[in-house]
Each structure stands twice: as C-alpha cells, then as structure tokens.
Amino acid sequence: MGTALGYALTDLTLSTSARALVAAIGETPLVPLPSPRHGVQILGKTEWLNPGGSVKDRAAWSIVRAGLWSGDLEGRALLDASSGNTAIAYAMLGAAIGFDVALCVPSNASPERLQTLRAYGARPILTDPLEGTDGAILEARRLAEEEPERYWYADQYGNPANWRAHYEGTALEVWRQTGGGVTHFVAGLGTTGTLVGVGRRLRELSSTVRIVGVEPAEALHGIEGLKNLDTALRPAIYDADVPDERLRVTTEEAQLWSRRLAREHGLFVGASSGAAYAVCRQVAERLEAGVVVTVLPDGGARYLSEKWCTR
C-alpha cells in the first residue's frame, strides 16, 4: 500500500507508530471456503484482519494519504459519509496521524460501530436511517458546502483514491496468492471501489477473468455496506464496464450464510461477507472448474447487537 497514487510513504511526515499502523494494512490471507462443486475453488480475503477491522482500511488510507500529500487535509477536519466501516478506518487514521474526523452515519448503524467511532475520538453525525447512506452523503455534501474552511470532504464515493487502493494493492495480492489462477472475482457493490479497482487490474493481467458484482435484491435491505445500484445514488467512481454481471442476494440469504460460515466453518463474518459468499456459490454452481475469489469485508463482532447475528 506504500506507493499508491504515485508517491511513497516516505514522502509523508508520520510518527513511527502511525507508519507501523498503515504498514499493517493489506496483505490479508486468502482462505478456502466450501464450494458446492467439485473442481471449483472458492477463496475469501480475510479483510477483518486489517488493523481497523475491515477492507475499508485500504481505501481510507489511500484517500487520507492523497489528502495529506495534496495539503487539502491540513488544518481541516476530514468529513465523509459512511455506513460504518470506512468511518472507523478514518477514525483510526485520524487518531494515529493527528487530524479531526467528522462522519455522517445513518443512525441505525450498529451500536458497536458507533461506540468504536467515539472510542477513537471521531465525531459521528447521525442521519435519517430511512435514507440510508444516500442521506448521509447528502448531509456530508451540505456540511462541506456550508463550511469549506472547516471540513475537507473526502468523498469515498467519488474519490479515485478509493478504487486505486484496490487496483494497486488488493488485485495484485489476489493474483499473487492464486498464482495467477483466479478465474472469477466477486465483490459487493457499495462505494464500488473494490470491484472497480480489482476488476480493472485483473483484466489487465488476464483477458479471461470474469468480474461479478454483488448487490441487495431489495431497495430497502439489511446488508450493511451494500447498495442496490438501480435505486440508490450511483457512486461517481462506479464504472459499469467493469463487471461482467451483477447478481443479487436477499438480506435473509446474506445473513444465513454469515451465520453458517461462523457456526460450520469458524469464520465469523458480517452480512456483506455472507452476501459475497452466496454469490460465489451461484457462480461456482455454473462451472466445471475454476477459482472464484471474493473479499470478506468485515467480521461479525460489529453486529453482535443485531438479532440476525446470533439467532
């Protein structure tokens, strides 16, 4: 992660502890997941092992680094909208590096996430839960326009540093860890940075790899971090030419596979991971042979207060 966006970690003035923290982002293990078809492997990136507990550490650090490098973050608080994981990653980085963080978050974000933000010293700005992340985005834009001297709007949904974190990091990890054998890459659609970045890079490395997006089947759903792109604000960084297809998962199916991965395989993951795995199974069932890789965005500990997690 040290050379994204054309500059090196050594070009930034960071404390020794902050350097150690950001150096720990990425290079997560790739673990085998149960496959419904003999001859088809399903592999998952264990992104909860990042220091901030999710895949969003990658994009958040890439965005923060760009803001530090440009000077846009100097003397201002970082402001963004998030369903929770990017918010936590920003809060962690703000505490380590020394900048203020204000985050527009739907008020129905899990208590564990909100408490984590406060523990890092970040300021959550709670928005209408019925408006989801779209409402949080609109509020962040409003605040940034009203107080441009106070806030730097990081804009994870429109900042190219988001997808470049995955283009320059995650994709190369997947390629190396599979020995170039990946045939399908599956990723949830939220900010869309993971799918766009990994998808673009893998396409450069292989002309035959297929890229599959995962989105909720319903406009109103309970899969934290994912968007139904036909009914939500479409992220500016989304490139419709990257996915070969988009497959949908119900909230119930995502939650079911999250529980089953924990209880039957010892992988305690969130519902977005359950959704990604459900789609991996859909893809695998069509194949005679292949290597299907996905990102498991976060762990289940952030959802323990939700009934679906432990029922």
pLDDT digit string (tens) for 271-293?
999 999 999 999 999 999 999 99
| For residues 93-119, average pLDDT | 94
Q: Are residues 190 and 272 in the same domain?
A: yes
84, pLDDT greater than 90:
no
Determine, yes or no, domain membership for 113. Answer: yes
Q: Is residue 79 part of a domain?
A: yes
Round the average pLDDT of the chain to a whole number and report it. Answer: 94
pLDDT band at 30 (very low <50, low <70, confident <90, very high): very high
**Do 214 and 272 have their domain in common?**
yes
Is residue 206 one of the residues assigned to a domain? yes
Give the CATH number for residue 28.
Answer: 3.40.50.1100
Residues 97 and 220 in one domain: no
- Do 102 and 185 share a domain, yes or no? no
Whole-structure pTM value: 0.94
Residues 144, 237, single domain; the answer is no
How many CA atoms lie within 13 Å of 228's alpha carbon, on the beta-carbon side?
15
Asked whether residue 175 falls in the same domain as residue 116, the answer is no
Determine which of 1-5, 76-80, 134-138, 161-165 has the lowest per-residue pLDDT on average. 1-5
Is residue 13 one of the residues assigned to a domain? Answer: no
Shared domain check, 266 and 194? yes
Could you tell me which of 207, 154, 158, 212 has the C-alpha nearest to residue 188? Answer: 212
Residue % of the chain over a pLDDT of 70: 96
Contacts of 30 (CB under 8 A, 6+ apart): 43, 44, 45, 46, 173, 174, 177, 178, 293
What range defines the domain where residue 224 resides?
23-55+160-310
> What is the number of domains present in the chain?
2
Q: Of the candidates 153, 185, 219, which is a domain's last residue?
A: 153
**CB neighbours of residue 160 within 10 Å:** 17
- Please tell me whether residues 64 and 132 are part of one structural domain: yes
Q: Residue 15: inside a domain, yes or no?
A: no
Q: Does any domain span residue 224?
A: yes
- Shared domain for 76 and 41, answered yes or no, is no
Looking at residue 4, its pLDDT comes to 42
3-state secondary structure of 248: strand
Name the strand (E) or helix (H) holding 151: strand 151-153
DSSP state of 206: -
